[in-house]
Structure 1
Amino acid sequence: MTTATTLTTATATATATATATAMTTTTTTTTWHTEDTLLAMAVVIALLLSLLAAVVAGVLARSDGATLPAAASRAGAAFAATLALATGLLALLR
Structure 2
Amino acid sequence: MARPPSGESLLTRVVRIFEAFGPEEPVLTVSEIGRRAALLQATTARLVKEMTGHGLLARDDDRKVRIGTRMWELAERASPVRRTRW
Instruction: Please tell me the TM-score bracket, short chain as reference.
Output: under 0.3
Structure showing greater radius of gyration is 1
Structure scoring higher RCO (CA < 8 A, sep ≥ 6) equals 1
- TM-score under structure 2 normalisation? 0.26
Q: Whose helix fraction is larger, Structure 1's or Structure 2's?
A: 1
- TM-score under structure 1 normalisation? 0.24
